[in-house]
Amino acid sequence: MASYIDAFLTYIARLPDALIYIFLGLSAFVENVFPPIPGDTITAFGAFLVGTGRLSFTGVYVSTCLGSLMGFMLLFRVGGLLGRRFLVERDYRFFKAADIVRAELWFQKYGYYLILLNRFLPGVRSAVSIVGGISRLKPLKVGIFALISICVWNVLWIGLGYALGNNWETVKARMAGLLAGYNLAVVMVFAVVILIFLIRKRLKRPKGEKQ
């Protein structure tokens, strides 16, 4: 799989600049709608091309931000149209019922702030956008918060890829390691938060029953 992606990115690098910007935006869009697509890897490749002087930072940044925002808002719209029952009962492979229920719990506690953090939540970004639509949040406010999240994530990700140098193998290896470590840390933090939430809920229940 890794060699296929490398060969594919090598082919992309030979395209005209305008087509590469379009491809980067499209990959960012698809990564939101279809999570298995390695969108962050392709964004890192865009950063590598910035480092080599092939592409401009502004072009890569704007194209990936717009693509991510369009993908997020599409799933937000889908969540609003289909509703909770439809999505939870079908338990789709890439939009699992467990992820949707988990995102609902987070929304109850954090509301719009969860939209603000969505790009920094590995594995459940798509669920956050869908549950935002299910929860009937205001589209304009959701769009603004999502754009802020995307812009911060992308400037860090592209800036880091540029700072690591213009050797693609070095960029790919280091950023893959950083992302894996970051994902593990975030998952552990949220696991602890959910555990505390469930424990507190369980401890409060007997008190309510006595009253």
The first and second tokens of residue 62, run together, are 């704007």
Q: Based on the structure, what is the number of domains in the chain?
A: 1
In contact, 158 and 43? CB cutoff 8 Å? yes
**Residues spanned by the domain of 21:** 2-210
Contacts of 5 (CB under 8 A, 6+ apart): 38, 41
pLDDT at 24 over 80: yes
Q: How confident is the model at residue 1 (pLDDT cuts 50, 70, 90)?
A: very low
User: In this structure, which long-range contacts are made by residues 179-184, counting pairs with CB atoms below 8 Å and at least 24 apart in sequence?
Assistant: 179/40, 182/122, 183/122, 183/123
Name the nearest CA neighbour of 201 among 99, 105, 96, 104.
Answer: 105
> SS3 string of 189-203?
HHHHHHHHHHHHHHH
pTM of the model: 0.70
